[in-house]
Amino acid sequence: MIIIAVMLVPALAADEMIAITDEEGRNVTVPFNPSSIICLSPGAAEVIYALGESDRIIAVTDDCDMPPALLEKESIGKSSRNADLERIIELNPDLVIAKTGGLFPEEDEQKLTDYGIPVLRYRLLHINALIPMIEDLGRILGEEEDARDMANDISGYYDSVLDRTGTMPDEDRPSVYFMSMGHFDWTGNRDSTGHVRIAEAGGKNIAADLQTKVPHVDMEWVIEEDPEVIVYSMTSEQYDGTTPTIEEMEAKRMEIISLPGFESIDAVKTGRVYITDIKMASGLSEMAAMLYYAKWLHPDLFQDIDPRAVHGELLQKYLNMDIEDIYQVYPDAPVK
């Protein structure tokens, strides 16, 4: 009983605690200015690094690889779903930041909270989750001013897209088929993040009215819907967890274009088939992804925006990275 009592002493004997509402809408009490954080959420790890506070991170999952310097931290597992709980408890962090929903099982969180380790959850698949998390982490880390500046940078680009597309009539919105998470035949309805990104970028999601949030569809249905734009999301499982090369993305694009019957689809006829790395839907790269969508769908409306240049500016400013060798979309310019 003595051993158990010692283990149950909260790791976060902090002078001050603050309440944070995370991406799942839960009110979680966490220590202000924590000295030790374990990140199971890549976007959160990236933002902590961008705020100049990466020294607080003592361990990460292997998918927390932006910037690559984070991989010098101790590995706590491949991803949030299979994190090494025993090692986390042994490290006794002040705070754990995990992904949302089943990507970090509730029973795993309960084990940590039983040891007095608070857990925040963020997945960050869209800007409307990224900006609040930046502000939350700024409060937690005592970096509110820098976090506010970062959020304003992101908001500036985001608002510029919404200002141009927000009142756009349906007849001016190209139809879009989104191939989700490495599958040709899985997509997202109006409750999905993919739908939000398409709509905000000025497009019409052909799967919007399907009943399931992530519906499985027949390729014949896609051909009949005849989308004007196709966007395919590559996943880490397809290329051993590394960023896909231009050659790999080009090969995947050719595979899509060559699917039986796809030669009749408008998007294939006009060449408006785009490949994106799923990692673009996390962290600061989310803003670049949004700009790519906007420019792919409306090249004339966004002539003044260069998504790759914006992405490069964000990487250089916040992560001290050069975009020269990073290609996370293909082709990166709209096909006219």
Average pLDDT over residues 213-218: 96
Task: Give the tokens for residue 304.
Answer: 């003044």
pLDDT greater than 70 at residue 46: yes
Give yes or no for a contact between 160 and 215, defined as CB atoms under 8 angstroms apart. Answer: no
CA distances from 297 to 203, 291, 312 (A): 7, 10, 21
Do residues 51 and 138 make contact, with C-beta atoms less than 8 angstroms apart? Answer: yes
Picking from 151, 155, 150, 133, the residue whose alpha carbon sits closest to that of residue 23 is 133
The dihedral region occupied by 80, where left means phi > 0, alpha psi between -120 and 50, and beta the remainder, is: alpha
- The reported pLDDT for the residue numbered 236 is 65
pLDDT at 324: 79
DSSP character for 120?
E
Per-residue confidence (pLDDT) for residue 190, from 0 to 100: 96
Classify residue 90 as exposed, middle or buried by CB count within 10 Å of its CB (0-12, 13-18, 19+).
Answer: exposed
pLDDT digits (tens, 9 = 90+) for 149-165: 999 999 999 999 999 99
Q: Looking at residues 325-329, what average pLDDT do you find? A: 77
In the predicted model, is pLDDT for residue 246 greater than 80?
yes
For residues 118 and 38, the answer to whether their CB atoms sit within 8 Å is no
CATH class entry, domain 2-147: alpha beta
Q: What's the mean pLDDT in 308-323?
A: 93
pLDDT tens sequence across 91-147 = 999 999 999 999 999 999 999 999 999 999 998 888 989 999 999 999 999 999 999
pLDDT for 15 equals 64
* pLDDT higher than 60, residue 4: no
Residue 3 confidence (pLDDT) above 70: no
In words, the CATH class of domain 170-330 is alpha beta
| pLDDT at site 239 | 55
Residues 6+ apart with CB under 8 A from 156: none
Nearest Cα neighbor of 175 from 107, 124, 227, 236 is: 227
pLDDT digits (tens, 9 = 90+) for 50-73: 999 999 999 999 999 899 999 999
Domain map (residue ranges) of the chain: 2-147, 170-330
With a pLDDT cut of 90, the percent of the chain lying above it is: 82
pLDDT at residue 13 above 50?
no
Query: What DSSP assignment string belongs to 267-286?
Result: HHHHT-EEEEEGGGGSTTHH
Rounded alpha-carbon distances, angstroms, from residue 250 to 1, 319, 325: 61, 27, 16
- Answer whether 244's CB lies under 8 Å from 238's CB: yes
Q: What is the mean pLDDT of the chain?
A: 91
Per-residue pLDDT at 6? 41
Q: Tell me: the pLDDT tens digits for 248-278?
A: 899 999 999 999 999 999 999 999 999 999 8
Strand partners, 78: none
Domains 2-147 and 170-330 belong to one CATH topology: yes
* Residue 14: predicted pLDDT: 46
Say yes or no to pLDDT of 183 above 60.
yes
Q: Give this prediction's pTM.
A: 0.89
Pairwise CA distance, residues 47 & 319, whole Å: 9
* Whether pLDDT at 285 is above 50: yes
* In 209-326, beta strands by DSSP E: 229-234, 273-277
